[in-house]
Structure formats: structure tokens, C-alpha cells
Structure 1
Amino acid sequence: MSGLASLPREILGEIFLYADLQCRKELRLTCGTLATIGKGWVFRDTVVSLEDESYNRLENILADPSLVQCVTTVCLNVSKWNEEDVDYDEQSEHGDEAAEWSALPERFRALFHRLGELPRLQGVSLCFDEACADSDDWHIQVPQSQAFRSVVLRKLMTLLVSLPQLPQGLTLHNLHNINESEESAVADITQVLGALRSLRLNIVHQEDGNDDFDFDSTNPHEFFTALPSFWLNPAASNLEHLTIYSNLFYGFFPKLNLQGVHFPRLKSLAFGNYEFVHDSQLDWILSHGSTLTQLYLDNCHILFEVAIDCPEKTYLEPRVFERREGLPSQDRWASYGTRWHHYFRAFNEGLPLLRKFGFGCTSWLDLDHAHGNATTLTLGMGEECYAVFNDAYGPPYPLDSHMKYMTSIEGSEDQEYRDEAPLIPSEEDRQALGDLYRRIGQPFSPDMTYDLEEMVIGSHWS
């Protein structure tokens, strides 16, 4: 161990950087040199959850002048909070802002307001429960109402703008797809966004067991339409890291149009559950070629065929749609001819600074992200990387591997489904992907996993 301790401090710092929290703690116990260097790494990221252990940890840190200098990132985790366990005061009502806030444990509220005592605080994350409802009429039972989420988010933004220095990193995990509309709340959010270098949005939408209802409800469409102006444009000038994940596929429908947003300093970009259906989406990524060094596409699809009864609400111009025999009379059909090998070659040529690339799939929603559990992206081209969108004959969700048409049965007045062939990744796709990895010098083999903890979860601001 003395040999390890004799290494330059820069190398020892790199060792702590790539070690998990438990290893960092054990390394600190080996000798005085590693104890000194490792202190900052052990106490760098702090979680404040609704548990005595986390309360005690932060209180002890705040009481120690040397430890308080170590904390740069705080995760406020209220994901386990269940309003059903709260008995609201007779003088207040559920949904009232003061009542919603005061219902949280007193120790949590006290420590929340003491975050300003952390002089080196640079990143903040807020984690809600993943289940949400589009309104507070309780027709769908969820642990946390929209009123509760709104109050906590407003309190956080008010706190952040009061700090001596605005944070440079913000992660909102399980952000419900309803934006704040109250003027002062919007002003606080806009001010916080303007100082950010890192923004990670993990967005959740109402689920009630009926995928079609989830998909066709109003909120997802309003949220993604407003996302560029509400969340991205205020941060555009300084932002270096952007992550957008959603538990509902988005891009085509609900429509997300990023063409009006440009990030002159963007270094890393991650999309989860994003749909590509037009070359302008590829062009938007390539427009950041002078700065982009990391790109992650997690469970993203190319939609090679789409059929929908409301083309005016999609990413595509209505004029590109046409009628197609075998589809319902109200549906319109369109196709997209660009393939993944076109994308990979474009990244290879148009992103000269790219050094890290992840293309694959991970079940990020199934993990406890707020506590820093590792999330891994399984690299490679699965058959699901090409898909069709068909809102008439979905399974029931409109995304499927192939298009379905109705056709007449010979000699009968009845009709039956006719399944078109799915689009399977080609050898050309795989070759172009391998060429991209080789060019950037990143090891690659099918089923290799890639650690996405920093990118997707945002356990640290940078």
C-alpha cells in the first residue's frame, strides 16, 4: 500500500474517481495520504432522503468545517414520500401549498434550508416517485400529487436563486410532464437554468394500464412542445451536458422539435427513448460537431414507417403523409428512408471531436437512480432499433416492429390482418457502427456494457 500512496496525487485522484463509494471509504482507511486525498471523494456527493441515516450524515457534515468544504453535489430524494400517510391539519386542505410543504418531515425541511451552508455546492438533483397522475382528482391513485411535486420544485428553485452562487448542474428525476405556470416560479426556474452547465431531465408521464390513453393524453404533447422554450433555451448559452430521458417514447409523437435551439458549448448529449423520423433530427446533432465529445442513444429508434390519424401533431409536415390501402380511412402514412448506417457515418464524419459513443439499451426506469446504483447501457444493435408507428393496430402501444394492414379474405366479405416484414439491422449498419467505434478509439463488441451513471443519473454536475 505504501507503493500506491507514493504515486502522484493526480493519479491517486483518478483512482478515487473510478472507484465506487465503498472502495473510496476502504482506501481512506489504509494510510494518512489516501485518507486526506479520499476525503473529498467520499463526501463529494450527499443524498438527503427521508431517513434518519441521511439526516445524521448531512448534519455531521454541516458541523465539521473541513467536511462542509467537500460537498459539491446534493441529491434531494423524496421518492419514498407517500401522501396517503399524511394526516393534514383540520385548518388546511390537501393541495394547499403550506400544507403540502409542512407535511414533509421537519428534519428534512430544516436541512433543505441549510443547503446554503455548503460553500462549494455546484450540483443539485431532485428525485420524485416515478408514478404520477395528470390531475389531482385522485381517479388514479399515486403516492405524490401534482400539487406536492409543484410545491417541492418551487421551494427548491426559490432556495437555489437565494444562494450566493447558482448551481452549475441540475438533475430532475421523475419530473412530471406539467410545467410551472405561476410567474414567480417560472422566473426562478429561468434564472437557475441560465447558470447551468449540466441539465438532466428524466421525464415521467401518467400510466394507468392503458397505453393508448397514456399516449394520447394532452400533457405529453404540451410538455414536449414547450420543452425547448421552457427548459432549453434559457440554458442554451452555457450548457455543456444535456440528458433527456422519458418513460414514453417521444420525438415523432409526442413531437419534440429542437431545431430552434443551439448550444454553442455542448460537449455531451444523451437521449433515452427518442424516435428519429427525419434527417433534420440528425442534422441538429451534427450542428454541434465543433464541440460535441460524447453522444449516447439509449433505446432510440428509427421509425421507417408511420401511420396516424393526426399527422398535424407529429414531427413531420402534414404534406408528406398520404393515404395507404389497408389502413383506416382517417389514417395517413409516411416512410423514412435513412438508416442507421447513414447516421453512424454522419457521426463519424460530422463529429470530429467525438470520443465516447453509446448506442444500445438499458432499463433505466427499473433502477433506484437517486441512490446512485450503476446503470449500464448494453451496446450493440438489437432488432428493436428499427420500428414502425401505427396508432390503429398497435400492440396496443403504437410502436411495433412491423406495419399491419387490413386485407380482404378471398371469397368472403371479411377482412384479416396482413403483417409487413420488420426491418432488421443490416450488416452495413453493423459495419458502420464498428467503424465509428474504431475511429474514436473506443473498445466495442456486441453485448458490451457501458456505465451510464454519470451521464443518465447525474450523480455529479460535470
Structure 2
Amino acid sequence: MPELLQLPPELLERIVEFVAISVPTVGDDPYDYEEENKYKAINDPAFSSWSRPYNKFAVTPRPDVSSLQSLRLTSRHFSHAWATHLYRCVRLMPNQGSASRYNKILATPSLAQLTKLVVCPTLTHVEMVFSIQCVGPSGFDDGNYPEDVEFREEVLSAFYAGLNHPKHPAAKVYDLGIKNLQDLTPQVLMDSAEDKDTGFNKDFQQVMSRITHFSLQVATEDNEHSPEIELHVPEIHDFFGHELETYWLAPIADNLVYLKLYTSEMPFGMYPKCNLPKLPKLRKLLLGNLSIVNDDLIDWILSHAATLEELTLDAAIIAVGAEFIEQSVDIANRRVNYLPLRIEEGRPCYRPQPQAYTEQRWFWSTRWHHIFNRFQHGLPHLKHFAFGHGNRGENASFDEAEALTCELEDGRYQFYDEGTGPCNWLDLDRHNTVNDHRLKDEDNVVYQPECDEEDWQALKDLLHELEKPR
């Protein structure tokens, strides 16, 4: 211990930081890079992202409280270092005990000034976490959803009201996170211009106008009995096709330098279609559960070439093909056709265009090595790239997005089939056919892409490029 305490203060601080936030190690990853040389790529890069620390400007992850408390007992010399991390994030729960403990922190000046993640004069980061389970007005409700639409809206209203308190506004907050926001924007946030200066809407507009870092995970409804019909819930299409862009992102587009956008489970991008605004100052982008079936979303990412420095794609899927039986599609451009936006009972409706029962299928020849190559040559300021599959088993990928490394999975290519359940997304069989007998006809066999080596080499080339001085 005496030798340890003789280290420079900067090194001691780094030790405490790594204890405070446990970054996954290579051994924790299900993919071993020594074995993954099956892709036969040469001149492997250093993969410095393995030890990449979490971005301090991200709302999550939260400190490892138990480790910090243990560290406190080792030596008084660590007191200030562990306190900085331990009290930086205070989780305030809706009960008297939690409120009393927080009041004690606020009553201790040396601790109160360390707190950054709850409402106080020094607050810069804030996060609201809802239940991952939700149900909408047209969904399946079996009574097991603890947070209904009304409850969520009331909590959101109180949340923004607290941040925009008339006497003590959280004026320094620039980093906002909402985990498991239901895919149903509160009606009051979509009201006409003359209503925007009242209550919830006013608080929302003023708080969001100060945000430069926005982390959002969208919760969608589950139907345990028939998961394949979840995409028939209309609110999903309204939100990703219109509300997300119009009410959440476009108003703050000119300010955003950091965007983390995830769904709790459902792939978004192809279906439901996702429309996103241009973000002229964007420097860091993290997307989780993205589905790609044409160049639209790739072109959108590349449109930020002048500013983008870091890019993470978590559980991203290329749809090598898709089959629809009840929705109208543009086969040539690989898009689902949507009806013109309309207003029903005061809410915007952006819905797929239905058609008579007819099988319509398309295929897409673009592979990940094509996209990696476009990133390598089309994002001149890129310094960091992560591509893989986060911790979906514990629904922790949103929290751990900053620690994602690079890996390749067979699931990066899938086929979408509207008529198949319980999941519409089908993993492709290594024996050259999709796992669905209806698609095994002589003209339209869906193959597992045989491009592992090309994908792996293109990924290595991209990472090598990022290691060069810029």
C-alpha cells in the first residue's frame, strides 16, 4: 500500500476511475478474437477500444457503488477520489428514505458539490428511467403493466417541471437521457403553437433547448402470445416515422453533438420506417437495434461527414431480403409504402399502406464490407468505430453502449418475413437456405452471405485507418 500511495495523483485517479466503472474485458466477451481468425484477416489492428473507458459525458453507466465503498475502507488517502465518483451519481427513488438520504447529502457542502446527476445547482446530466414494459391505447393489456400511458405522462411532466423550476431551474443541464420512453409522444407536446407556452409543453421546450447530448431508448409493446403482430401496433409507425423526428429531434437538431438512439428490443429503420433529421454539429452517434435494407440510413450517417468523430452500431442488421404479404411495397427501392401523414383525433398518423393479401419479395446485395468501406472513405473525421452486439440478455446494451467493441456475428444478416412467427426476423441458415420452407423455391432461395472474410478484412481496414493520425 505505501508504494501505491507514492504514485502520481493522476495515476491514483485513474485507478479509482477503473474501479468505479467496470468496463467489460476481452474475457467477458462471448467472442474470442484468437478464435475469430476464422475470417483469415491479416495485420490485425491493436483494438484499443477493448480498454476504452466510458465517455464521461454519457448519462450511463452508473458507478459501481459496492466497489467504491470497499475502496473507501482501504485508506484515507483515497477518500476524495472515491467520493468524487460515489456521489457524482445519486439515484433518487420515490420514497421517503431515499429523499432523506439525499437531503443529508445536500446538507453536506463537500458532498453536495460533487453531485452531478440529480437536480441541484451543479446539475449537468440527468436521466429518467421507465419500465421496459408498456401498453398503448390500441395494444394488448393483461393488467400486468405497472406504468400506463397516463402515469408516464404525469412523471414526464413532473420531470421537466423540476428541471425548469421557476426559482431554481437546472440551467446547466446539457446531457439528458430517457430510458424506455414509450413510443407514444404525450399529446400536449404536439399541441398547436398557441398552446406551447403553457405547462408541460413550455417546460419541455425550454429544457430541450439547452440539450446538446441526448440519450433515448424507446420501449415498444410486447405481445407474448403473438409476437409477430407487434408491428401491427400503429403507434410504433407513428413514432418512428414522424414523432421522433418532428417533436424530439428536429427542435434540438442544431444543438446536438451527441445522440444515442436505441430501442428496447424491436429493430427499427426498415420496418417501422425511421425518419431522422440532419444534425449539423453531430460528433458522436450511437445506434442500437438498427435494421438496414437500402442506402437511406447509411446515406444519413454519411451526411454528417463534416463533424462525425465517433460511431457505434449495436446489434445492427442488414436485411438481405424481405417478404411482405399485407403491406404495399416499392420493390425496386426496397421500401414499405406509407400513407400520407394525416391527423386523427388530434394525433398525427403515419401508417403503412395496406394491400390485398399478396406475397411481395425483394433482395438486397449490399453487405457489411461495402458499408465499412463507405465509412472508411466517407467519414474523414472518424476516430472511433464500434460494431457488435451489446448485452441484450439483461437489457443493458443501452447502459453499456460506450464500452462496445468490434465483433462480427452471423446474425448481422437476416431476412424479414411479415408472415412468419413468433419472430419476423429470421437468421439465415449456413446450409444456404433461410429457415422457412415457404421461401425454398427454385427461383428465390435466400442464401447466408458467404462474405465473412471480406467483412472482417473491411472492418480491419477501417480500424487501421482510424489509428492513423488525424
Distance 2:81 2:439 in 1: 71
Q: Secondary structure at the match of 1:178?
A: coil
Distance 1:176 1:389 in 2: 24
Deviations 1:315-353 (A, max 9, x none): 95569xxxxxxxx96233222222100111122222233
Q: Is the 8 A contact 2:138 2:233 kept in 1?
A: no
Structure-2-length-normalised TM-score: 0.73
Q: Secondary structure at the match of 1:307?
A: strand
Change (3 A) 1:396 1:168: same
Correspondence 1:159 to 2:124? no
Q: Give the aligned partner of residue 302 of structure 2.
A: 286
Distance 1:199 1:29 in 2: 36
Distance 1:416 1:432 in 2: 32
Q: Is the 8 A contact 2:286 2:401 kept in 1?
A: no
Q: Secondary structure at the match of 2:457?
A: helix
Unaligned runs of 5+ in 2: 21-63, 192-198, 338-355, 429-433
Correspondence 1:297 to 2:313? yes
Q: Give the aligned partner of residue 172 of structure 1.
A: 178
Q: Is the 8 A contact 2:390 2:400 kept in 1?
A: no
Give how far 1:67 is off: 0.8
Q: Give the aligned partner of residue 268 of structure 2.
A: 250
Distance 1:179 1:300 in 2: 25
**2:124 aligns with one of 122, 125, 128:** 122
Correspondence 1:384 to 2:411? yes
Structure-1-length-normalised TM-score: 0.74
Change (3 A) 1:270 1:374: closer
Give how far 1:205 is off: 1.0
Q: Secondary structure at the match of 1:49?
A: coil
From the two aligned structures, give the one with the greater strand fraction. 1
Query: More displaced, 425-434 or 26-35?
Result: 26-35
Give the counterpart letter for 2:285 in structure 1. L
Change (3 A) 1:230 1:350: same
Deviations 1:264-317 (A, max 9, x none): 322221111111112231121122223322211111101121222324599955
Change (3 A) 1:200 1:30: same
Distance 1:346 1:73 in 2: 38
More RCO (CA 8 Å, sep 6+): 2
Deviations 1:45-78 (A, max 9, x none): 111124666444312211211111101113xxxx
Change (3 A) 1:345 1:373: closer
Change (3 A) 1:217 1:276: same
CA RMSD of aligned residues (A): 3.2
Change (3 A) 1:338 1:213: same
Query: More displaced, 262-271 or 194-203?
Result: 262-271
Distance 2:83 2:371 in 1: 44
1:233-382 mapped onto 2 (5 Å cutoff):
233-246=250-263, 247-258=265-276, 261-308=277-324, 309-311=326-328, 316-317=334-335, 330-364=358-392, 366-367=394-395, 377=404, 379-382=406-409
Unaligned runs of 5+ in 1: 75-114, 320-327, 409-414, 443-462
Give how far 1:174 is off: 1.3
Q: Give the aligned partner of residue 181 of structure 1.
A: 187
Give how far 1:252 is off: 0.6
Distance 1:26 1:159 in 2: 34
Change (3 A) 1:280 1:139: closer
Q: Secondary structure at the match of 2:239?
A: helix
Change (3 A) 1:279 1:313: closer
Change (3 A) 1:286 1:358: same
Query: More displaced, 265-274 or 43-52?
Result: 43-52
| Aligned residue pair count | 382
Change (3 A) 1:364 1:138: closer
Q: Secondary structure at the match of 1:430?
A: helix
Correspondence 1:150 to 2:153? yes
Change (3 A) 1:374 1:274: closer
